[in-house]
Structure 1
Amino acid sequence: MSRALTVSRAAQLVGVSRAVLQRMIRAGELAQSEGLLDIDELLRAFPDARVEESGILEKVVRIREEAFGRRVREHVLPSPELLSQRLFAQSQELAEMRRHLQAYHALVAATIERLARRPAPPDLAGEAREMLERGLAQVLGSESDNRLDAMTDMLKVVSANVVVRPSGREFLVQGNDSILQAGLKAGLGLNYGCAGGNCGLCKARVVSGETRQILHSDYSLSAAERAQGYLLLCAHTAVGDLVIETLEAGSPADIPEQELVARVRAIQPLGPNTMLLHLQAPRSARLRFLAGQGATVGLAQPGGDLQATWPIASCPCDDRNLHFHVARDPADALAEQLFAGAVKSGDTLGVRGPSGDFVLGADMPPRAVFLACDTGFGPIKSLIEHAMAAEAVERFSLYWLASRPDGHYLGNQCQAWTDAFDEFDYDAASDDDVARGASLLAKRAFDEGDCGASRYFIAGPQAFVDAAARELLEAGAPAERLRATTC
């Protein structure tokens, strides 16, 4: 029996990213009906697919697990209650299929019996009876060889597919994650505030499917909202496949400025002149931001508060943990305090943001080209991790210029991406003349890719940004495909 799959489920089964399947759909290599892919169509396009041996999916998953900077991650099955609900739903479906099969069997058996009794030409009755008997034996005595069909049933037990309207984007809810947690991990810009059931900002309407509450909520929905199917995404998980209706943040203008007090989780040297500042937001007040944006960090002091605006170097999918790559800079008083040891683990710092429009944007082309200089890698890292989570990019090209000895302070991380992800290219260069190095890298980046299928992201000192942008524009890159930020 032919069955339809969402793009997310299909990508999970054959071991490729959603971006690859979406490109094949746009190119006419895969037929899609009402947003779904037929299993037979998928097998036609991937005849050699072996679900249990596919490696690309595992590579991407491993990258996500290592890239997001979470110190503790638990891979757990859904709760026993949720598993029982999903298994019950599948048992109902199986029982219905068995009832249909028994009805077909009874019909065929009755037909054979009737043919045996009804006067008819001997050849016709015998031929019809033999055909029905042979066909019934084949149906009842054979096993399906459709491995994707079986895998789909199994995956429905351990994960649920969620489709978001009106955007049409989709993601999987795995383990004990709430719908909100799963959506953020998948790179969606869902609306939320506290993520703890208190503010009501993650309110959404369930169009179809069943949910289960997993978190107590102090926020009360009105009777009218409950009647229309509204719930809090942070407090519920999906029992089975789900369709919800909610708006997503597509641009910086969609996210309001927020203020919170965060605690210093760690201050770690990345090099002689580079420091990692790890802040942790309280559970009741997360910082909602888009990858590539920055935030203003403030330190209260008796002689006057110090503050600095730095790019956020972590992924929005881990909104409690905010990372900043801070360079030693005599002109930055707060940075000097960090390097002097005046700020310690456990201290509190004010955070205001987000700020900036250095974001991926919608309708990403197949290739994303990132050009960074020194700590310009911070916002680039955030963009890369988000793009991996959202599966928004098919091919990554990273060019990192170092103007000082510790400029490639996370070179091992970049090499790990290259080793684990087939479509990730990393090019490290060093030049104390920032403008000259930028021009050389930009020319190389343009020559090594199709400018019509690429979007360019540039981050670093002003001289680096200006030189790289100028080189790309002169080479023929469209201005609308360039995005830049100085840091």
Structure 2
Amino acid sequence: MAYNVTLVPSGREFQVEDGEAVLSAALRQGVGLPYGCKNGGCGSCKAKLVEGSVEHGAHSSSALSKDDETRGFALLCCAHAKGDLVIESREVKGIGDIPVKRLPCRVNALERRADDVIIMRLQLPANERFQYLAGQYIEFILKDGKRRSYSMATAPHEEGSLELHLRHMPGGVFTDHVFHQMKEREILRFEGPLGTFFLREDTDKPIVLLASGTGFAPIKAIVEHAAHKELERPMTLYWGARQLKDIYLRELAEQWAREIPGFTFVPVLSEAAPEDQWQGRTGFVHRAVVEDLPDLSNYEVYACGAPVMVESARRDFIAHHHLPEAAFFADAFTTEADNPGGGQ
């Protein structure tokens, strides 16, 4: 049995099979809906249920709370229709034009940039053209079928290897292997591109880029893509970390500030070490944004990193600093431990 799903305000319709997640059905039929992790962990696909009802599979309460459900919201990645639905959600243009592929790749290089950060470079098959949008991610498919998601730090126009930034999660099956056993030339499989976190180019609004930790990876792709396209929109990058060593590509961001017209870099440390001799900004990185920009009504914000940072920024920017909800784009870096029932 299939049910009809209608999106408002666009009026777009698609079919969802009994037992199929609404998001999966939409993506299968080329309908672009906002999403991130696809497993109930991040909340990027939360949407208002105007008519009809759904049953939810396992999900994080931070992605969809009981109060959210009471107010009529659904988490589309794990929502199963019980009948026809009308859903209020914006459509994401552009992602349906790029094919999602499953490809082998070879580990070209492993560069340790911090105690817990490795930059991995992947070599794709020589005859393969891999298209994606700046900010999207891929999913590694592990031998047991489990998946691990990582954003591409390489801008789409770049030739050569694909760059990823991996943070070590102690006890994590995949990152333990990467940090302790993986050797160059190892073969991996991945699927992509995925996600709706990418630079929108249909406006000239100034851009706030907000990163914590390795959330810098897709931000790097966005900045380098914008510079390549010679976009004239002002960009300010706020990169938050605990200590200075965690701003693991600080020299690159400082180089952008020197070389890219209209680009500003603001590093923010929450627990600066004495040896950092830090004289810069401190505290929560999203608070640094509103200290500088109390009125965000004419900005677009791209936020990537820890879920608590992304959600705090979303809530505060929209509720208290006039940012339109449609101008906040996010990719929360959930780990396997964040996933419903997940371990490492």
Q: Answer yes or no: same fold by TM over 0.5.
A: yes
Structure 1: distance between partners of 2:237 and 2:308? 19
Letter matched to residue 348 of structure 1? I
1:484 aligns with 2:330: yes
Letter matched to residue 234 of structure 2? R
- Return the offset for 1:306: 5.9
Contact 2:211 2:219 in 1 (8 A): yes
- Return the offset for 1:432: 4.8
Structure 2: distance between partners of 1:442 and 1:309? 27
- Higher Rg: 1
Contact 2:207 2:234 in 1 (8 A): yes
Helix, strand or coil at the partner of 2:197: coil
Closer, same or farther: CA 395–278 of 1 in aligned 2, 3 Å? same
2:197 to 347, 358, 364: 358
After superposition, the C-alpha distances for 1:161-190 in whole angstroms (9 at most, x for unaligned) are xxxxxxxxxxxxxxxxxxxxxxxxxxxxxx
1:475 aligns with 2:332: no
Closer, same or farther: CA 430–299 of 1 in aligned 2, 3 Å? same
Closer, same or farther: CA 445–324 of 1 in aligned 2, 3 Å? farther
Closer, same or farther: CA 438–408 of 1 in aligned 2, 3 Å? same
Contact 1:294 1:312 in 2 (8 A): yes
Letter matched to residue 372 of structure 1? A
- What is the TM-score when the length of structure 2 is the normalising length? 0.63
1:313 aligns with 2:153: yes
Indicate the residue corresponding to 1:255 in structure 2: 98
Indicate the residue corresponding to 2:113 in structure 1: 270
Structure with greater strand percent: 2
Helix, strand or coil at the partner of 2:308: helix
1:458 aligns with 2:303: yes
Closer, same or farther: CA 365–453 of 1 in aligned 2, 3 Å? farther
After superposition, the C-alpha distances for 1:174-227 in whole angstroms (9 at most, x for unaligned) are xxxxxxxxxxxxxxxxxxxxxxxxxxxxxxxxxxxxxxxxxxxxxxxxxxxxxx
1:326 to 166, 180, 193: 166
- Return the offset for 1:387: 1.1
1:395 aligns with 2:234: yes
Contact 2:100 2:192 in 1 (8 A): yes
1:335 to 152, 175, 192: 175
1:419 to 248, 258, 265: 258
Structure 2: distance between partners of 1:309 and 1:439? 24
Indicate the residue corresponding to 1:375 in structure 2: 214
Count of residues in Structure 1 that have an aligned counterpart in Structure 2? 232
Letter matched to residue 153 of structure 2? A
- Misfit runs of 4+, over 3 Å: 304-307, 450-453
- Return the offset for 1:393: 3.8
Letter matched to residue 402 of structure 1? A
Letter matched to residue 307 of structure 2? Q
After superposition, the C-alpha distances for 1:430-457 in whole angstroms (9 at most, x for unaligned) are 1159xx603412313523xx73442110
Letter matched to residue 162 of structure 2? L
Contact 2:227 2:260 in 1 (8 A): no
- Return the offset for 1:378: 0.5
Structure 2: distance between partners of 1:454 and 1:393? 14
Closer, same or farther: CA 445–250 of 1 in aligned 2, 3 Å? farther
- Return the offset for 1:332: 3.1
**Unpaired runs of at least 5, structure 1:** 1-248
Contact 2:297 2:322 in 1 (8 A): no
Structure 2: distance between partners of 1:437 and 1:335? 27
Matches within 5 A, 1:101-112: none
Helix, strand or coil at the partner of 1:256: coil
1:283 aligns with 2:160: no
After superposition, the C-alpha distances for 1:126-179 in whole angstroms (9 at most, x for unaligned) are xxxxxxxxxxxxxxxxxxxxxxxxxxxxxxxxxxxxxxxxxxxxxxxxxxxxxx
Closer, same or farther: CA 286–351 of 1 in aligned 2, 3 Å? farther
**Unpaired runs of at least 5, structure 2:** 1-91, 273-282, 334-344
Closer, same or farther: CA 467–429 of 1 in aligned 2, 3 Å? same
Contact 1:273 1:406 in 2 (8 A): no
Contact 1:365 1:454 in 2 (8 A): no
Contact 2:296 2:317 in 1 (8 A): no
Letter matched to residue 278 of structure 1? R
Matches within 5 A, 1:112-261: 251-261=94-104
Structure 2: distance between partners of 1:350 and 1:319? 20
- Percent identical among aligned pairs is 25
Helix, strand or coil at the partner of 2:216: helix
Helix, strand or coil at the partner of 2:138: strand
Structure 2: distance between partners of 1:362 and 1:416? 24
Structure 2: distance between partners of 1:387 and 1:482? 18
Contact 1:458 1:485 in 2 (8 A): yes
Contact 2:239 2:285 in 1 (8 A): no
Helix, strand or coil at the partner of 1:416: helix
Structure 2: distance between partners of 1:464 and 1:319? 33
Letter matched to residue 287 of structure 1? F
After superposition, the C-alpha distances for 1:95-150 in whole angstroms (9 at most, x for unaligned) are xxxxxxxxxxxxxxxxxxxxxxxxxxxxxxxxxxxxxxxxxxxxxxxxxxxxxxxx
- Return the offset for 1:299: 4.7
Structure 1: distance between partners of 2:260 and 2:116? 30
Indicate the residue corresponding to 1:67 in structure 2: none
Helix, strand or coil at the partner of 1:372: strand
RCO higher in 1 or 2 (8 Å CA, sep ≥ 6)? 2
